[in-house]
Structure 1
């Protein structure tokens, strides 16, 4: 049994103390002399109401009964919770932190858009310069694709500097190899998973380079933007994505632009062949993206970097025979190693590598729609270079076709809920206008009443 003296030795005033019960006759039940708990607060002993309430709560089991869980304790607890000043400040800091993250993400996305469009414009223009002295499109495509091997080492370097978790390159490589299955990457899975994507990757680049030999950079970049429409059509057919009427309209606009581009110089000659090659490049790119989404859609950034580097290894090992075959059959004349424009080749491969890294990293760091806009902005960028440097004169039909394709590309960027969001936006505007008109009517009625009272006239409402 504790005594009051032993409790008060700490120098603090105790809130609960033990007292002998002087009155042994309680109004509810006679009890012998015993010790009870009495609170120092005057609220706890007011006519014994709270003690009776505690007994009722204990008998009924209400609220899972805890001793002393009566109404005055609930009131005290609610008061203490209501008076906490840290809740409002914490919500304000959270909102400020969210706004700051959104602003940084948007600014980073705008910078990413500028870098993506610049790298793609630079890649296309360097290809045109390379063709002046070295016309071997497949070798250029093969040489540039080999640089994808560097993507995973670049990712690992960034991972080491940005995270505290330290893993060896082999450990990180094995961790990302789970993309191929639970057992990691085997030779069978390496060929089975990598071969189709590597072939589509090589075809996309090779057809794009062939199209640049026939058409201007602006026309090829505009036609390549049609891959977004092909991605939607394939996703709708293969992946059973949601049907959207506006995207069907965008796909029709893309096809219309393709036909107009082919008709610009008549359905013959290099122009028609160039349009067909550019559309073929857009089609293989769309098929690559749909298959990637089907089989590797849940891959993270490390797994994507691992996969692209694996495709680079596959290209180096298995596709290297194709440039040799083209060389010995005199289809592509490489010449001596000293006569090859290694400066242009390395610059082209580096820009292509930067573009691929920015596209895959930008999807993780910022909004995917900004990445698509960066690809679209390469069209006016190439047009500016063609007009200012190469003095290209565009016909009215080509300009109209380019504008139609770009407009269809923008329609494809609309989100799935764009119609409901737009209707809700206009409904909110209409509600605000009706509220403002109602306030103006009430103010005008108040003014008329005040004027009538001042003039001594009374307005009688009509029945």
Structure 2
């Protein structure tokens, strides 16, 4: 659930139609400046104008096609992210009814992260025109950690802490599922985006935005109201504290990753997550064994372990992390984040059908304001400027209709210039 910056290669490729459109517009302006007064020059200008109009229309169609394709992929991505996150939450809740072992489930699901880099390398062999061997690709991705690659010092200072935060985030989330219902857990976990903003503002000195401060206040208010909805019972308070701690660990993971390692390309991110999974398998495997022999997470026979549920939870969490980290290659990051917040009503419908939750007015308001705060945090940094520009464009579009009498009395050259301005505005 990391946010990739412009270092991710597919982002620049997605912007190429916009660059082509700008270049065509610049060429059109240069042609208009050299138009003379002779008859031959006028005919040449008319031909150039018609040709540039066709190219501009063709570019508009290309841009629209790219945007429509990304939007369609985004709809599919929203559904996949929502179903994988809600499905893993519901399936984990069912798993605890037969096998009450949250840490063992955390260890088992995190170990599946080892598959990230092999799957990425298979995609590299299928898509990349310059195919590299696994060793060559591994060495190139290891440069993400520094010029010397993945040394023991880099591992213990820049990788192991993130592995610990990963395990804590998932373990606290699963522990919270044992205490409270899935709707409350999924809604409260959405507060992690507000925590990311607050930490980024304090630690990374990110831009101050009033709307995001309001969103953070709404998230905190939702936490308090969620606690009040159950009457401050110890069982629910502990569950809410656990999921808030999980959201805090997730936010700390993201902010520290940005501060220590910066942004990662797809291969580098896949390698990093595979290292986290391998580290979990090598160094943390003794903890489930200790919990078994101390009867903290005990089961009488290995045949009684619901392997189907365990593999289902691990597979859904793995799919969720693949979609969140690499879905940016085919669609917009905002749509991916939207799938997370949509898992809240999905979990609510399941809980309502299974009669595991009582929706009083306080709980409904709490869930609503938390989701509202999450959506407010998805607004871009220049959202206010976008609204101002949109209102100015709409005002300019209304001006020719109001001054149509003056436009009819003008020359043909003025009419063509006005039409050209309208087409340029539409293309942008």
TM-score, structure 1 normalization: 0.75
Q: CA deviation at 1:362?
A: 1.1
Tell me, in whole angstroms, the C-alpha distance in 1 between the residues paired with 2:130 and 2:299.
46
Tell me, in whole angstroms, the C-alpha distance in 1 between the residues paired with 2:282 and 2:373.
39
Cα deviation, 1:242-296, whole Å, max 9, x if unaligned, reads: 0001100000000000000111122232111111001000000000011112223
Partner of 1:155: 120
* Equivalent position to 2:179, from 211, 214, 225: 214
Partner of 1:327: 292
Cα deviation, 1:80-132, whole Å, max 9, x if unaligned, reads: 79856765544443332222111111111111111000000110010011011
* Equivalent position to 1:113, from 53, 62, 78: 78
Q: CA deviation at 1:165?
A: 1.7
Q: How do residues 428-443 of structure 1 correspond to structure 2 at under 5 angstroms? A: 428-429=393-394
Unaligned runs of 5+ in 1: 1-71, 443-463
* Equivalent position to 1:284, from 241, 249, 270: 249
Q: Does 1:242 align with 2:179?
A: no
Cα deviation, 1:343-396, whole Å, max 9, x if unaligned, reads: 110111001100000001112321111111010000011111111234532121
Tell me, in whole angstroms, the C-alpha distance in 1 between the residues paired with 2:396 and 2:205.
38
Question: Relative contact order: is structure 1 or structure 2 higher (C-alpha 8 Å, sep ≥ 6)?
Answer: 2
Partner of 1:364: 329
Summarize the Cα distance change of 1:319–1:76 in structure 2 as closer, same or farther, 3 Å threshold: farther
Tell me, in whole angstroms, the C-alpha distance in 2 between the residues paired with 1:305 and 1:119.
19
Partner of 2:68: 103
Tell me, in whole angstroms, the C-alpha distance in 2 between the residues paired with 1:139 and 1:371.
29
Summarize the Cα distance change of 1:436–1:83 in structure 2 as closer, same or farther, 3 Å threshold: closer
Partner of 2:96: 131
Q: CA deviation at 1:427?
A: 4.4
Q: Does 1:377 align with 2:327?
A: no
Summarize the Cα distance change of 1:82–1:422 in structure 2 as closer, same or farther, 3 Å threshold: closer
Tell me, in whole angstroms, the C-alpha distance in 2 between the residues paired with 1:98 and 1:108.
15
8 Å Cα contact 1:266-1:272 kept in structure 2: no
Tell me, in whole angstroms, the C-alpha distance in 1 between the residues paired with 2:404 and 2:54.
35
8 Å Cα contact 1:359-1:371 kept in structure 2: yes
Tell me, in whole angstroms, the C-alpha distance in 1 between the residues paired with 2:210 and 2:69.
34
Could you say which structure has the larger radius of gyration?
A: 1
Unaligned runs of 5+ in 2: 1-35, 408-428
* SS class of match (1:165): coil
Tell me, in whole angstroms, the C-alpha distance in 1 between the residues paired with 2:308 and 2:197.
38
* Equivalent position to 1:342, from 268, 291, 307: 307
Partner of 1:31: none
Tell me, in whole angstroms, the C-alpha distance in 1 between the residues paired with 2:296 and 2:92.
19
Q: Does 1:258 align with 2:237?
A: no
Q: How do residues 32-71 of structure 1 correspond to structure 2 at under 5 angstroms? A: none
TM-score, structure 2 normalization: 0.81
8 Å Cα contact 2:142-2:150 kept in structure 1: yes
Q: CA deviation at 1:297?
A: 2.7
Cα deviation, 1:162-194, whole Å, max 9, x if unaligned, reads: 222211112111111111111222233223221
Partner of 2:18: none
* Equivalent position to 1:197, from 147, 162, 175: 162
Q: CA deviation at 1:336?
A: 2.7
8 Å Cα contact 1:149-1:309 kept in structure 2: yes
* Equivalent position to 1:272, from 216, 225, 237: 237
8 Å Cα contact 2:84-2:316 kept in structure 1: yes
Q: Does 1:223 align with 2:188?
A: yes
Q: How do residues 441-452 of structure 1 correspond to structure 2 at under 5 angstroms? A: none
**Structural RMSD (CA):** 2.7
Cα deviation, 1:191-223, whole Å, max 9, x if unaligned, reads: 322111001000000000011011111100000
* SS class of match (2:98): coil
* Equivalent position to 1:397, from 362, 381, 384: 362
Tell me, in whole angstroms, the C-alpha distance in 2 between the residues paired with 1:397 and 1:111.
33
